[in-house]
Amino acid sequence: MVCYILPTIAAITTYSIRKKTRNSGKYSLWLNQMFLGGAVFGIVDHAINGQLLFSGNLAFDLMLGSIITIAIFIVWQIIVQLDRTTMKNKAVNASP
């Protein structure tokens, strides 16, 4: 199975973008770390099960990788919104 390929590509891509912009902020760091975590989890899981190479159904593997990558992105968006809401509430409560 190669479902870990898409999160790995997403992690490499976000890392490259972060390095080019140099001041990308905490949210892009979080996204990069989440993609990296998903990629590492997939690689370790498949290594333990002896499934690092392509299986017979590449389309299914890529679909699963897409779902994993999209799920990571959606969870990241939720975390970012929660953080922004928390920061906004702290700013409102701190003002005299």
Q: Return the ∠ at Cα 28 (arms to 26 and 32), rounded to 5°.
A: 115
pLDDT: which is higher, 33 or 4: 33
pLDDT-derived band at 1 (thresholds 50, 70, 90) equals: low
Confidence band of 58 (pLDDT split at 50, 70, 90): confident
The first and second tokens of residue 39, run together, are 């990629």
What is the Cα–Cα distance from 82 to 20, expressed in whole angstroms?
Answer: 27
Q: Is residue 96 in a domain?
A: no
Q: Is 36 part of a structural domain of the chain?
A: yes
26 occurs within a structural domain: yes
DSSP string over the chain: --TTHHHHHHHHHHHHHHHHHS--HHHHHHHHHHHHHHHHHHHHHHHHTT--S--S-HHHHHHHHHHHHHHHHHHHHHHHHHHHHHHHHHHHHH--
Q: Which domain holds residue 40?
A: 5-91
Is residue 68 one of the residues assigned to a domain?
A: yes
pTM score, whole prediction = 0.82
Look at residue 65 and tell me if it is in a domain.
Answer: yes
